[in-house]
């Protein structure tokens, strides 16, 4: 390309055989505008830099995604007031021009770009692109600055004692929350871009030397195989990478608590952080994890005793309605005479069989639960509580259901609320209807058969190659220190054997001995 006496580049008709940037600035600007449909949030600012030999420089960014204050301070101001004195030379190479320009830009990260694909990706993720007339390369500066939610209390996994911070929708904030807890150089992250149109950033985080290399590689492979237009939430990633699709049980743990994710990483698990969602995924995940709460490790005198209540609540939430149906339909002789007469008296005049009665109440309660969730926060709780009281009392007085059935359904609902993880409570809610149908058809025999089938299904599941029911099945004696009960922290000296097959031993700790001094 030749330069005229006035120092202006003569326009050439360029045939673009690839996606590389043009050499002529107006063609680059036109291509950017056409590529983004002349969007009104696209900002392009052009100015001349140089003392004697002048060059046209343009900065391009998206309003709302980039921090305009940072752009003014670190890019525009230096280029307008300092770089205007640059001595350009005719024989400068493209690398020399960009290197000279970088001396005046004070952002922390500057990277070269050569294609329009990189350019569009940069400006649509909050970065600022700097183009110089006469060269086929540009610079991108990290100036992300969109509005995001502040770190707040967890909404789905609250505790009485423990950290009161939760992940946000900002990926960088989430990685910082984890790094604040694990300040190790071995905490590595890997970046993936998923979604043809959304280009959602997904980061994988693990401890090098502790996480199983095969699990890490399997996570990479499954993420790389995802082909979809858009990803908006980690639940969509979960469906793509889970081991088993047709199961009600979650095989990937999701949590909004940084301490839960950090503890999992220390055990050798792999965290998957998706931009735009406050829920981080953790793999491999085991059945016993979904019945554990972070508070189990913060209460000094608990030692996991409250965890026993969760296992009991799981059995009640799964089997209570079905046992009531089986006993009242097939096995009345199992009840004491006084209790049997009391139940018979309450059911006198009830037109529905026990199964239809339980089904009606369970479905009604599910309606109320969903209504309470979807209603505005200020009235949702009142609607669910008042609705349950009014409908239950009205149904008993109308003789549609018995009072005992209302009690059974209420206890079952309360037991479902005890689960620390919402995904597991959904699985129990769905399976409850299956057990009710088997109980109405075959009595306790049907419940036993269904329960055996459920155990076989659980034992067949895997999460990234790890048996879902471990360390219960297969039974691992060393890992029972943190399964049903929790041993004291200083007793748990080893990581789960099937999770971290390298560096099994934790820091060697023991119970500190008192020195006898008062």
Separation of alpha carbons 210 and 267, rounded Å: 8
- For residue 20, list its beta bridge partners: 115
DSSP for residue 186: T
- Cα dist. 262→149, 266, 480, 484 in Å? 21, 6, 21, 21
Helix H or strand E segment including 390: helix 377-397
Separation of alpha carbons 166 and 180, rounded Å: 13
How confident is the model at residue 3, as a pLDDT? Answer: 41
**pLDDT tier at 89 (50, 70, 90 boundaries)?**
low
Give the end-to-end CA distance of the chain in Å, rounded to a whole number.
87
Asked if 263 and 182 count as a contact pair (C-beta separation under 8 A), the reply is no
How confident is the model at residue 432, as a pLDDT? Answer: 93
Q: Which of 129-143, 262-276, 299-313 has the lowest mean pLDDT?
A: 299-313
Helix H or strand E segment including 118: helix 116-123
pLDDT in tens, 446-501: 999 999 999 999 999 999 989 999 898 888 888 888 888 888 888 887 788 788 76
Longest dimension (CA), the chain: 111
Asked if 439 and 323 count as a contact pair (C-beta separation under 8 A), the reply is yes
Separation of alpha carbons 134 and 48, rounded Å: 13
Q: Which residues contact 197 (CB under 8 A, 6 or more apart)?
A: 229, 230
How confident is the model at residue 494, as a pLDDT? Answer: 79
Separation of alpha carbons 271 and 287, rounded Å: 17
Higher pLDDT residue, 154 or 203?
203
Which of 317, 330, 404, 402 lies closest to 366 in space, CA to CA?
Answer: 317
Q: Determine what percent of the chain falls in helix, strand and coil, rounding each to the nearest 5.
A: 45, 15, 40
pLDDT in tens, 242-285: 998 889 999 999 999 999 999 999 999 999 999 989 999 999 99
Instruction: Report the range out of 62-76, 137-151, 206-220, 348-362 with the highest average pLDDT.
Output: 206-220
Which of 296, 314, 279, 310 lies closest to 160 in space, CA to CA?
Answer: 296
**pTM of this structure:** 0.83
How confident is the model at residue 386, as a pLDDT? Answer: 63
**pLDDT tier at 175 (50, 70, 90 boundaries)?**
very high
**pLDDT tier at 16 (50, 70, 90 boundaries)?**
very low
How confident is the model at residue 387, as a pLDDT? Answer: 67
How confident is the model at residue 249, as a pLDDT? Answer: 94
DSSP for residue 218: H
Which of 413, 411, 407 lies closest to 428 in space, CA to CA?
Answer: 413
- Cα dist. 404→116, 325, 326, 361, 428 in Å? 69, 11, 14, 11, 22
Using only C-alpha atoms, what is the Rg of the chain? 31
Residue 9 pLDDT > 70, yes or no? no
Higher pLDDT residue, 94 or 446?
446
- Cα dist. 250→92, 130, 223 in Å? 60, 46, 18
pLDDT in tens, 350-389: 888 889 988 988 888 888 787 777 776 655 565 666 666 6
Asked if 193 and 199 count as a contact pair (C-beta separation under 8 A), the reply is yes
Task: Answer left, alpha or beta for residue 224, where phi above 0 means left and psi between -120 and 50 means alpha.
Answer: alpha
Separation of alpha carbons 496 and 263, rounded Å: 12
Task: Answer left, alpha or beta for residue 199, where phi above 0 means left and psi between -120 and 50 means alpha.
Answer: left
Q: Which residues contact 28 (CB under 8 A, 6 or more apart)?
A: 21, 22, 58, 131
3-state secondary structure (DSSP) of residue 47: strand
- pLDDT over 70 for what percent of the chain? 88
- In the structure, how many helices (H) and strands (E) does the chain have? 16, 12
Separation of alpha carbons 328 and 443, rounded Å: 9
Task: Answer left, alpha or beta for residue 221, where phi above 0 means left and psi between -120 and 50 means alpha.
Answer: alpha
């Amino acid at each position: 390309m030749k330069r005229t006496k006035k120092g202006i580049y003569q326009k050439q008709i360029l045939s673009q055989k690839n996606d590389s940037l043009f050499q002529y600035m107006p063609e680059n600007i036109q291509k950017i505008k056409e590529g983004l449909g002349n969007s009104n949030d696209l900002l392009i600012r052009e100015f001349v830099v140089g003392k004697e030999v002048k060059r046209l420089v343009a900065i391009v960014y998206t309003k709302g995604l980039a921090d305009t204050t940072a752009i003014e301070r670190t890019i525009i101001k230096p280029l307008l007031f300092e770089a205007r004195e640059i001595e350009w030379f005719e024989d400068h190479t493209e690398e020399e021009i960009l290197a000279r320009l970088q001396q005046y830009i004070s952002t922390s990260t500057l990277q070269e770009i050569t294609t329009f694909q990189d350019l569009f990706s940069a400006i649509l993720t909050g970065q600022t692109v700097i183009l110089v007339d006469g060269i086929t390369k540009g610079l991108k500066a990290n100036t992300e600055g969109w509005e995001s939610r502040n770190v707040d209390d967890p909404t789905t996994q609250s505790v009485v004692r423990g950290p009161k911070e939760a992940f946000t929708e900002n990926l960088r904030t989430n990685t910082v929350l984890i790094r604040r807890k694990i300040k190790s150089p071995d905490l590595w992250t890997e970046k993936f871009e998923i979604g043809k149109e959304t280009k959602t950033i997904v980061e994988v985080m693990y401890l090098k030397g502790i996480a199983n290399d095969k699990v890490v590689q399997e996570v990479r492979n499954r993420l790389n195989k995802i082909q979809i237009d858009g990803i908006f939430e980690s639940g969509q990633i979960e469906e793509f990478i889970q081991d088993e699709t047709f199961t009600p049980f979650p095989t990937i743990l999701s949590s909004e608590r940084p301490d839960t994710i950090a503890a999992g990483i220390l055990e050798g698990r792999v965290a998957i952080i998706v931009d735009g969602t406050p829920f981080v995924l953790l793999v491999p995940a085991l059945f016993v994890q979904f019945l554990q709460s972070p508070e189990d490790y913060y209460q000094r005198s608990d030692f996991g005793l409250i965890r026993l209540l969760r296992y009991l609540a799981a059995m009640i939430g799964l089997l209570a309605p079905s046992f009531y149906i089986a006993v009242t339909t097939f096995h009345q002789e199992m009840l004491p005479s006084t209790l049997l007469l009391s139940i018979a008296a309450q059911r006198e005049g009830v037109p529905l069989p026990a199964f239809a009665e339980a089904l009606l109440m369970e479905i009604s309660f599910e309606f109320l639960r969903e209504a309470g969730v979807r209603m505005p926060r200020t009235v949702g709780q009142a609607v669910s509580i008042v609705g349950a009281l009014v409908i239950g009392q009205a149904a008993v007085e109308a003789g549609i259901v018995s009072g005992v059935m209302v009690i059974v359904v209420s206890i079952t609902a309360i037991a479902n609320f005890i689960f620390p993880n919402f995904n597991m409570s959904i699985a129990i809610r769905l399976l409850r209807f299956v057990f009710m149908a088997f109980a109405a058809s075959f009595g306790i025999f049907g419940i036993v058969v269904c329960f055996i089938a459920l155990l076989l299904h659980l034992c067949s599941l895997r999460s990234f190659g790890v048996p879902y029911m471990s360390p219960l099945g297969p039974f691992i004696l060393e890992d029972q220190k943190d399964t049903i009960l929790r041993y004291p922290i200083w007793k748990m000296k080893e990581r789960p054997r099937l999770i971290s097959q390298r560096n099994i031993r934790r820091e060697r700790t023991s119970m500190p001995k008192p020195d006898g001094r008062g």
